[in-house]
Amino acid sequence: MKATLFDYGAGNLFSLVRALEVVGVAPTIEADPLACAKTNDLLVLPGVGAFGHAAARLAPARVALARQLAEGRPCLGICVGMQLLFEASEEGEGAGLGVIPGAVTRLRTPRCPHIGWSKVGEEDFYFAHSFACRPVDSSVVRASTTFDDERFASIVRWRRTVGVQFHPEKSSKAGLALLGTLVREVTS
Amino acid sequence: MTTKRVVVCLDVKGGRVVKGVKFEGLRDVGDPVELAVKAEAEGADEVVFLDISATVEERATLLEVARATASQLFIPLTIGGGLSSVDDVTRALRAGADKVSLNSSIVSRPELLGELSARVGAQCVVASIDARRVGDQWKVFTRGGRTETPLEAVSWAQRCVALGAGEVLLTSIDRDGARTGYDLELTRAVADAVSVPVIASGGAGQASHLVDAFVQGHADAALVAGILHDGVTTVAALKRGLRDAGLDVRGVR
């Protein structure tokens, strides 16, 4: 299966590429946002970098990509890539795609960032984030996770777009299994 | 809930994993890719590669090692040692690191922490602090524990966090390789003073030492190295020990 992985130029894409390959996806890394909007395959927004930096890189194609997602282009957003599906973030300037109404706000937990393995359903997945998505419409929330005294959306689903706050590509066997499931769900 | 993490540290020099005692007397313990993959299979929550190369030639191999490791490792990989600029960090991340750990370079130029967290996010940036008790306080040392700085460890940790570090890797030089347990006083002093996760390092000899680091030291993660390489114990055995002590750990039933 083909996919386009948007490169914001800020981090490790290598692990995600390898994890996608393991679950049968062959991603093309694309640093030009306009080129990302020229195909209609699975769009992957990776979980690296800060919101402001990523939003700035995405900006030229923001409207085009949001329209594609509304029309049913499959999309997987991981960590900051999930946050980019929302309207804006306290982390930095700029706009996300805004396909899911809501904002991204800082965790108010005693320990922040939230770094480590936390439960999503029955299994533990690896999280590394200081901000979390607050969807206006709770029907998009597929799973929530509790860290310290806060509960936040850890999986959201809207049309053929799925966003995960954790890193499936860094969550060992459970992560790879879920990555495969999510990719099949949004592309089938 | 977040589980207590067991972090496996591999000191890498010239493309091989080595282990020293009190930062001296190095010996070869194996291939980094093989050892990292083995750690994941045993239930390690993270792997750290600390590059302790002395020369540019030795150092050049680390990014290749990182790339080879990242293609087989599906838990977080941190790379540290010799990273001194945003470009160095970008290269390490591109090679497959999820986080970078910075030590001497942030002592000489603390602003680097802010530059990095703005670019890659604080969750990618680990402040590595090597501390040794001097009189009634802990002093920060650099250059692999050889050079004493005027910095005091607890306030330095707070400053690192204020500047943009998302995690603190705290090594007790006094305990490194001694296997007598982590420096719990140091660990707790730092963990209570900062809002980010603290990884206790230096001194692990058995599972109860990790329990102490979490319960008494208030650490979020505990780093182990030597005891694994010598076959004294395994990650799985350590995690069973943590579970039996009532701690929440991943992957142990």
Where residue B98 falls among pLDDT bands split at 50, 70, 90? very high
A2-187 placed in CATH 3.40.50.880: yes
The enclosing domain of B12 has a CATH number of 3.20.20.70
pLDDT by 10s per residue, chain A, length 188: 999 999 987 677 888 999 999 999 999 999 999 999 999 999 999 998 889 989 999 999 999 999 999 999 999 999 999 999 999 999 999 999 999 999 999 999 999 999 999 999 999 999 999 999 999 999 999 999 999 999 999 999 999 999 999 999 999 999 999 999 999 999 99
B87 in contact with chain A, both atoms CB, cutoff 8 A: no
A117 in contact with chain B, both atoms CB, cutoff 8 A: yes
Quick one: pLDDT at residue A10?
65
Quick one: pLDDT at residue B22?
54
Would you say residue B117 lies in a domain?
Answer: yes
To 10 degrees, the CA torsion angle through B175, B147, B31, A172?
Answer: 70
Quick one: pLDDT at residue B24?
60
Closest to A33 measured CA to CA, from A68, A70, A2: A68
Answer whether A118 sits within 8 Å of B3, measured CB to CB. Answer: yes
What is the torsional sign of CA B158, B159, B164, B166? negative
Answer whether B1 sits within 8 Å of A115, measured CB to CB. Answer: no
Would you say residue B252 lies in a domain?
Answer: no
pLDDT tens for each residue of A59-101: 999 999 999 999 999 999 999 999 999 999 999 999 999 999 9
Q: What is the distance, to the nearest Å, from the Cα of residue B136 to the centroid of all Cα atoms in its chain?
A: 25
Closest to B126 measured CA to CA, from B247, B7, B41, B250: B7
Where residue B231 falls among pLDDT bands split at 50, 70, 90? confident
Would you say residue B38 lies in a domain?
Answer: yes
Would you say residue B250 lies in a domain?
Answer: no
Quick one: pLDDT at residue B7?
98
Whether the bond between A60 and the residue before it is cis, its omega within 30 degrees of 0, is: no
pLDDT tens for each residue of B41-90: 999 999 999 998 867 777 778 889 999 998 899 999 999 988 999 999 98
What residue numbers bound the domain in which B107 lies?
5-244
Portion 16-75 of A in contact with B at CB < 8 A = 18-19, 48-50, 52-53
Would you say residue B249 lies in a domain?
Answer: no
Nearest to B119 among A53, A167, A172 (CB): A53
Q: How many domains does chain B have?
A: 1
| Residue A116, strand partner residues | A127
Tokens representing B13?
Answer: 């020099």
Would you say residue B171 lies in a domain?
Answer: yes
Residue B4 DSSP one-character state: P
Residue of A nearest to B166 (CA): A113
Closest to B6 measured CA to CA, from B204, B230, B151, B232: B204
Quick one: pLDDT at residue A49?
81
Tokens 């979980």 correspond to A47
A118 in contact with chain B, both atoms CB, cutoff 8 A: yes
Quick one: pLDDT at residue B59?
76
Would you say residue B253 lies in a domain?
Answer: no
Quick one: pLDDT at residue B23?
54
